[in-house]
Chains A and B, each alone.
Chain A
Amino acid sequence: MNLLKEFIKGWWKENPVFVMVLGTCPTLAVTNSVKNAIGMIAAVAFVLLGSSFIVSLIRKIVPNQVRIATFIVVIATFVTMADRYLAAFYPQLSKALGPYVPLIVVNCIILGRQEAFASKNGVLASVLDALGMSIGFGIALMLMGSVREILGSGTWLGMKVFGSWYIPWQVMILPAGAFFVFGFLIWGFNSINKAFAKR
């Protein structure tokens, strides 16, 4: 039961993007299309799962003073793997994501989960926590990506959503649109949570 709670909390109640406002860089930068968002979600999920697994395995043998440095090296190793894999098998996606794949290293969600959870809990709980957080991150990025691509290009994952009458709302796929959509989504999230809390 407890394990289930660790798994589900990241989806909504402790959603890493909308509630904790972590990992904002990729949320804003790669959500101009759903395809880029999916690539980013896959890369982050891989890194988060891998490093949570390793960190919870070695948590008892790492001295407390050097734990942050150890976590960063573990994370950087998985990021390098993800980066090389994307560059080899999906060169186009890798190019579109640009520096944001290597930048997963400094994504606060990942280091935050290691520090707050994986370094204190067992392997199974840590992997479930990582999986739940990845899903929460995924929900956030898919929401951002869908809103921005549908409004900004009139398509969803490359498929036409509107007829030819629709004039794409260009600013949505530009940086300014990212800030607007993110701001309004946080607003919506907070309002819904508050409405539920009142009951």
Chain B
Amino acid sequence: MELLIVFISALLINNFVLHYFLGICPFIGVSNRLDSAISMGMAVTFVMTIASAVSWLIYYLILVPFRVEFLEIVSFILVIASLVQVVEMFIKKASPPLYQALGIYLPLITTNCAILGVALISVLKEYSFIETLVFSLGAGLGFALAITIMAGIREELEFADVPETLKGPGITLITAGILALAFMGFSGLIK
């Protein structure tokens, strides 16, 4: 039950894009086409779950016993950067079709603040290992959900008559605002 609450709240209520404002850069940058948005969402979910599991292990098995918690930021970012490389190499060898689909998005993920954000927030909230896994999976799927909805809307927006100077980031942000309003409706789901 606890786990379900963690999952739902990461997925819908405290959606990473629309509530924590993490991963805004890909959210604006890669949301103009539906299929690439879905691939990006999947790639983020995948890396996010692995990255937060590894960061959790590093934090509680290395940093805490040696009392060097202040190295958290440096070690997490290095872990994520090298992990993305390893994942990329692994997928390339193990599953070429998957690499074809996710390939170009993987390097971009290193600078995705949502990945580091999930690792930091799980430490901040003192989640257990299992909770961290569920939390990061929920957060990743939440990101995928938000970017997919956004891409769907933006494909329709192509045909709308948007003022020249509002095109691009401007209209995307205002649309995201309306989405955020809609997602506020979920907040009654959990007390």
A60 CB to nearest chain B CB (Å)? 24
- The answer to whether A102 touches B180, judged by C-beta atoms less than 8 angstroms apart, is no
CA A106 – CA B120 in complex, angstroms? 12
Residues of B within 8 A of A25 (CB): 21-22, 24-25, 113
| Interface segment, one of A7-15, A118-126, A132-140, A172-180 | A172-180
Q: Which listed residue, B20, B116, B173, touches A29 by the CB 8 Å rule?
A: B20
In the complex, the answer to whether B116 meets A176 with C-beta atoms within 8 Å is no
Give the shortest distance, in Å, between B188 (CB) and chain A (any CB): 15
B167's nearest neighbour on chain A, judged by CB, is A190
B165 at the interface (CB under 8 A from A): yes
Q: Taking A21-B169, A103-B120 as contacts, is the C-beta distance between A76 and B81 under 8 angstroms? A: no
Beta-carbon contact of B25 and A108 below 8 Å: yes
Cβ of B89 under 8 Å from chain A: no
Query: Is B86 interfacial (CB 8 A cutoff)?
Result: no
Q: Does B91 contact A (CB under 8 A)?
A: no
Partner of A179 from the list B73, B165, B180 (CB cut-off 8 Å) is B180
* Cβ-based interface call for B66 (8 A): no
Are B117 and A103 in contact, with the CB atoms below 8 A?
yes
Q: Per-position contact with A for B66-77: 1 when CB-CB < 8 Å, else 0?
A: 000011111001
The answer to whether B180 touches A176, judged by C-beta atoms less than 8 angstroms apart, is: yes
- The listed residue (B28, B121, B184) touching A21 by CB distance below 8 A is B28
Confirm or deny: A150 has a beta carbon within 8 angstroms of a beta carbon on chain B: no
Given A25-B113, A187-B165, A72:B77 Cβ within 8 A: yes
Q: Is the interface of B mostly helix, strand, loop or mixed?
A: helix
Q: What residues of A have a CB within 8 angstroms of the CB of B120 in the complex? A: 99, 102-103
Given the known interface contacts A72-B77, A80-B70, the answer about A99 and B164 at a Cβ–Cβ threshold of 8 Å is no
Q: Is B157 an interface residue when CB atoms closer than 8 A count as contact?
A: no
**Interface membership of A105, Cβ < 8 A:** yes
Interface residues in B, total, Cβ within 8 A? 40
A194 on interface, CB distance cutoff 8 Å: yes
B133 to chain A, nearest CB (A): 19
Report the bound CA distance from A77 to B71 in whole Å.
9
Residues from chain B with a CB closer than 8 A to the CB of A80 are 70-71, 73-74
For residue A79, CB closer than 8 A to chain B, the reply is yes
Q: In the assembled complex, which residues on chain A have CB atoms less than 8 Å from the CB atom of B165?
A: 187, 190-191, 194
Whether the pair B111, A108 counts as a contact (CB closer than 8 A) is yes
Within 8 Å by CB of B177, from A102, A107, A177, lies A177
B173 pairs with A182, CB closer than 8 A: yes
Q: Which residue of A lies closest to B124 (CB)?
A: A99
Q: Let me know if A72 and B81 touch, CB within 8 A.
A: yes
Asked whether any CB of chain B lies closer than 8 Å to the CB of A73, the reply is yes
- Other-chain residue from B18, B117, B174 in contact with A180 (beta carbon distance below 8 A): B174
Which 3 A-B pairs give the minimum distances between C-beta atoms?
A179-B177, A183-B173, A183-B174
26 A-B interface contacts by CB (under 8 A): A21-B28, A25-B22, A29-B20, A72-B77, A73-B74, A77-B74, A79-B73, A80-B70, A83-B73, A99-B124, A102-B120, A103-B22, A103-B113, A106-B77, A106-B116, A107-B113, A175-B19, A175-B180, A175-B184, A178-B177, A179-B173, A183-B172, A183-B174, A184-B170, A186-B173, A191-B165
Q: Which positions in A face B, CB cutoff 8 Å?
A: 21-22, 24-25, 28-29, 69, 72-73, 76-77, 79-80, 83-84, 98-99, 102-103, 105-108, 111, 171, 174-180, 182-184, 186-187, 190-191, 194
Besides the known contacts A105-B73, A108-B111, 14 further A-B residue pairs in the complex with CB atoms under 8 A apart: A25-B25, A25-B113, A73-B78, A76-B74, A103-B116, A106-B112, A106-B113, A111-B111, A174-B184, A176-B180, A178-B21, A183-B171, A184-B174, A186-B170
